Structure 1
Amino acid sequence: MKQFFKFVFATIIGVLLCLVIFTFIVLGLISSARSDKKTDVEANSVLRLAFNYDIKERTSANPLSGIPFLNLSVKKSIGLNDILASIKRAKNDSNIKGIYLDESYMLSGQATSEEIRNALIDFKKSGKFILSYGEIYTQGAYYLASVADKIYINPKGIFEFRGFHSEYTFFKGALDKLGIEAQVIKVGTFKSAVEPFILDKMSDANRLQVNSYLGSLYDYFLTNIGKSRNLSKDSLFNIANDLKIKYPEDALKYKLVDGLKYKDEVLTELKKRSGIDQNSDLNMVELADYNDPDENKDSGSSNTRIAVIYASGDIGSGEGDDNSIGSEGISKAIRKARLDKKVKAVVLRINSPGGSSLASDVLWREVYLTKKVKPIIVSMGDVAASGGYYMACAADSIYAQPNTITGSIGIFAILPNMKNFLNQKLGVTFDGVKTGKFADLGDVTRPLNPAERAILQDQVNHGYLDFTNAVASGRNKTQKYIDSIGQGRVWTGAQALKIGLVDKLGGLDAAIRSAAAKAKISDYKLVAYPEQKSLLENFGAGLTSEVKTYMMKQELGDNYKYYNDLQTILKYSGAQMRLPYKLDIR
């Protein structure tokens, strides 16, 4: 009997615990729903911007992202679309007196930083101030901060200004020790996605292209900082090259910052600039709270629309989600916009390193069909390369930022030969029968024979011809010319403009204006696709995904990115149109 009551008591405690957890989740959902209400901003307020998270193309509709009880995140991550809208709204908001950039790190890509930086430059046209403060300034954070009227750093802080570098990991040595051979079939001298598996260092061709695009990015970086700080590009280069800035005092000496201050001193200045009495609290508005869900809801004609389709992440089959491009999901979105008579033009926002060649071709087809019936303009984000460029090339025109990464017109396939690993390392052997000479083509337990390799090489060659033909047709160039600038070579947006892979430099707003002009409309409403899932649709999947990601990040820390990269590699299926590597420029 005693044991019985113990189990009953334990069951009751378990049920009560589940009810408490469920209550917190519901409260979080209610809180999330309430956050969609318009924020009342007090007079003489300052908008605080901090970008110490990976900025997505648009704000996630996942209601679980801000539940403190689950410790997933304290604040909802704001997407680029809402960041730009908030800065634009603050420019005309009489209650917002200025912007406070409270930053040390900028974790997002360079084109994303460029969009935000340009929005801040536009904000300054209002005559309002921008003040930046950081205890640590990484180069990415400083690039954004350089537009501020005043830049302050903690007197004991860290200021990084040493030039760009890009480092790549090679796995050949580890594969050799394991007895695994990476059998590579590719087209493109510069298509170096396969190099980590067959080399222990960069090839000469790869080193050439990395030097080229890294130099282009760095030149643009220095030029823009020089314009903002009234310093010459050459002097900035020398400062970085000789590592003249080792301490905050050096940053002040070379005029990269305006003062060494502690945060209390910065807050005092913010009060003064915003017209707040020093004995009163500063009216600080957080970006996540600066919300106006009714913005643009009723603007423009409901019968005249421009569809903005967001395509972010690796390209593969299926529906995809906010972090991946599913050929089925994005095709459906493009098709819906094409068939909707109210939609007069389409803007396709691409932020992708590529992926499956088959899925990329499926998406290319939808863009091609849309171009026949209404204008479709591509806006490139941080990356729109390989398969990401393939789906873009059929559009009427392509916009990119100068520091967008694009091109990489090439194709490859990798088939592991695990015979030695399985036979010699594990003692596992295989035997079987087959009814045809090529029935077991693709078997990883043995090496490819010459005939099989020839078949796969022919398929990859065929895919490359399709790729270059699609680009040549879309860009009105010869296939021979596209092959000469293709071969898997990576370009920046600035370089791509010169060689004809993109049409103009600019962000999403510029692409939208171009789409409106081509459609000959001036009064229109923006609609976003794919439609984000409702609260109830997101609930189960959202909770599982958030918890899984959170736990992995907690366990692996900075090494999570390697786990994520491995997960991507394991999803490779068939021929790939993909960037040579995940770019991590610092």
Structure 2
Amino acid sequence: MKQFFKYVFATVVGIIISSILMVILLIGIITVSISSIGSSSETTVSPNSVLQVTLDHAITEKTVPSPFEDLNIPGASSVKSLGLNDIISRIKAAETDDNIKGIYLNVSAVNVGFASLHAIRESLKEFKESGKFIVAYSDVMTQKAYYVASIANEVYISPVGSVDFRGLSSSVMFMKDALDKLGVEMQVVKVGTYKSAVEPFILNEMSAANRTQVESYLNSLYDGFVRDIASARSIDEQRVRQAADEYLIQFPEDAVKERFVDSLLYRDELLAKLKQKVGVDQKKDLPSISLLDYKKSADSGSTSGGSRVAVLYAFGDIIDGNAQDIDQIGGESLSRELRKLREDDKVKAIVLRVNSPGGSALASDLIWREVTLAKKVKPVVVSMGDYAASGGYYISAAADSIFADAGTLTGSIGVFGLIPNLQNLFNNKLGIHFDAVKTGQFADMGIDRPMNAQERTIVQGGVNRIYQQFMQRVADGRGLSIAQVDSIGQGRVWTGAQAIELGLVDRIASLDDAVKSAAKMAKLDKYKVSEYPRAKDPFESVFSSSKEKVKMWFMEDELGEHVHYVKELRKLMRNTGIQARIPYTVEIN
């Protein structure tokens, strides 16, 4: 017994000591986090410096500071990253920074959509037009990386490197056979010939209608992709297409021959060339600073006066209630932000930056309502990112003006309902059976049995009603008839370039253009730009890390770039109920 108590006592003491150590560690993390946040003043830049731009990190619409980014904590995201807003702002600031002589663009891969890709490229183009140089170099370049690099004054790759240039493709993961093996039937109720979000559950390949729309918007994206590369590199457009069609660039020498790159260099030769450009002795180190550490930001209009143009970021899936993560748009939380901005007398205009494939139809309508109310009080302009489709377009439709990038994927005006039937899984795979007593014929409607004809009619009626409402919202906002909206709706996805011709978008323009337009509509000569939602307090950021988020940290650490397949599968399995969502997250390679 004495020995037993000794072990118990030792265990208790061990737990107490461990707890104290964990508290000390947590306090240390918070202290370092807050001190690093508090020291975010502008970084000192040496004279004759080169700004190093790499884009191999996660790029969201808006920078989300991580309290762990400067700490090496297992499972926590310790990689620095910038949002699109800060990437563009910092490149713009470097234009007028006398200490920055040029940009060293070291890009191997860029994991963003075409609208974001184009926005980054345009900011680099403006930098080059300011008279400063851009030199692009990498061992290997994906097609998206090369698209960005092609704007540089000089493009180089390693003598043993490569430029991947084979044309664009779009792929979708289908799960019908897998669900069949599990005994899961996805019961689909939808409106829209092209509303193909449900296809991964019920087919093993694209439907004819879906293939038609994918070919249409992919070719629209490719036209701009080829045109921009041809113009920057002074190559005939047809030759650029031929290089992809015939896979003419298989070896480094081929890239030089086809004039996609200027020469083949090793990294030491590239550094020597950069030193020569900025006038630094070859024996000294090249003065440089990474874009990630370059804290200087550009003014977005005058900072004098109390008037503000609010840029409200809405990116991610649209969900009911409050957003639980940065890549979600909560129906209630975004509505609340819009309400605050509407009631804030210092905010004279609102720019809603939308980058969303859609989601909950209910949440989309709640947000639409707040956009409508805000528009009655002050100008509201929508700026579209990579996606502003389905629910993403729903929340945009009421704005005074809609701006998009040529590569934005938008439209997808359609609705679907997805109700899983798990009877076969329960009964035949797991040996689980249900029995019920009910007071009404529809009381036991659920996922443990298939819908009957009457139940399907009821659900279809709800989907039809929401589609009619969706079309009415678009018709009212865009000055179109219901028939016109239906003809370009039916769930069909369009690029921004196509949407202009259809009347769904007003202008192909940047976020900065949208801000200037909103200020002009509000008759503002002097104003400052404020971004919303406001950044969370560092304490809240640390302690609000949910169990779900922690699991994803570890999963990302293990799976790397392949983690998005897991995220997509989890997302798809949650999309039950009535949804206004783009067919799927489009992977274009």
For residues 24-71 of structure 1, what are the alpha-carbon distances to aligned partners after superposition, in whole Å with 9 as ceiling and x for unaligned?
A: 514531452244111111100111111112211111133233322446
Q: Distance in 2 between matches of 1:543 and 1:23?
A: 19
SS at match of 1:65: coil
- Indicate conservation of the 8 Å contact 1:129/1:149, yes or no: yes
Q: Distance in 1 between matches of 2:189 and 2:547?
A: 37
Report the CA distance between 1:288 and its aligned residue: 1.7
Question: Is the counterpart of residue 191 in structure 1 residue 204 in structure 2?
Answer: no
Report the CA distance between 1:8 and its aligned residue: 7.2
What amino acid does structure 1 have at the position aligned with 2:114?
Q
SS at match of 1:53: coil
Correspondence 1:48-67 to 2 at 5 A? 48-67=52-71
For residues 439-468 of structure 1, what are the alpha-carbon distances to aligned partners after superposition, in whole Å with 9 as ceiling and x for unaligned?
A: 223x11111111111111111001100001
Correspondence 1:118-517 to 2 at 5 A? 118-292=122-296, 296=299, 299-320=302-323, 321-441=325-445, 443-517=446-520
- Indicate conservation of the 8 Å contact 1:195/1:202, yes or no: yes
Query: In structure 1, what is the equivalent of residue 564 of structure 2?
Result: 561
What amino acid does structure 1 have at the position aligned with 2:553?
Y
Aligned residues: 584
- Indicate conservation of the 8 Å contact 2:305/2:526, yes or no: no
Q: Distance in 2 between matches of 1:544 and 1:232?
A: 53
For residues 525-553 of structure 1, what are the alpha-carbon distances to aligned partners after superposition, in whole Å with 9 as ceiling and x for unaligned?
A: 11111122111211212486664322012
| Cα 1:422/1:19, change in 2 over 3 Å | closer
The one of 540, 560, 582 equivalent to 1:579 is 582
What amino acid does structure 2 have at the position aligned with 1:315?
I
| Cα 1:24/1:133, change in 2 over 3 Å | farther
- Indicate conservation of the 8 Å contact 1:36/1:292, yes or no: no
Report the CA distance between 1:3 and its aligned residue: 4.5
- Indicate conservation of the 8 Å contact 1:394/1:471, yes or no: yes
Query: In structure 2, what is the equivalent of residue 108 of structure 1?
Result: 112
What amino acid does structure 2 have at the position aligned with 1:411?
V
CA RMSD of aligned residues (A): 1.9
Q: Distance in 2 between matches of 1:220 and 1:112?
A: 14
The one of 520, 526, 530 equivalent to 1:523 is 526
| Cα 1:451/1:544, change in 2 over 3 Å | closer
What amino acid does structure 2 have at the position aligned with 1:182?
M
Report the CA distance between 1:109 and its aligned residue: 1.2
Q: Distance in 2 between matches of 1:528 and 1:500?
A: 29
Unaligned runs of 5+ in 1: none
- Indicate conservation of the 8 Å contact 1:65/1:546, yes or no: no
Unaligned runs of 5+ in 2: none
- Indicate conservation of the 8 Å contact 1:61/1:533, yes or no: no
What amino acid does structure 1 have at the position aligned with 2:247?
L
Q: Distance in 1 between matches of 2:456 and 2:480?
A: 32
What amino acid does structure 2 have at the position aligned with 1:162?
R
What amino acid does structure 1 have at the position aligned with 2:263?
G
- Indicate conservation of the 8 Å contact 1:104/1:141, yes or no: yes
What amino acid does structure 2 have at the position aligned with 1:553?
E
Report the CA distance between 1:354 and its aligned residue: 0.2
What amino acid does structure 2 have at the position aligned with 1:486?
G
TM-score (norm 1): 0.96
Deviates more, 1:118-127 or 1:403-412: 118-127
SS at match of 1:288: coil
SS at match of 1:85: helix
| Cα 1:383/1:25, change in 2 over 3 Å | same
- Percent sequence identity is 49
TM-score (norm 2): 0.95
Q: Distance in 1 between matches of 2:476 and 2:460?
A: 24
| Cα 1:177/1:7, change in 2 over 3 Å | closer
SS at match of 2:223: helix
SS at match of 1:556: helix
- Indicate conservation of the 8 Å contact 1:64/1:542, yes or no: no
For residues 262-308 of structure 1, what are the alpha-carbon distances to aligned partners after superposition, in whole Å with 9 as ceiling and x for unaligned?
A: 11111111111112111111111111211137x64994344211010
What amino acid does structure 1 have at the position aligned with 2:249?
I
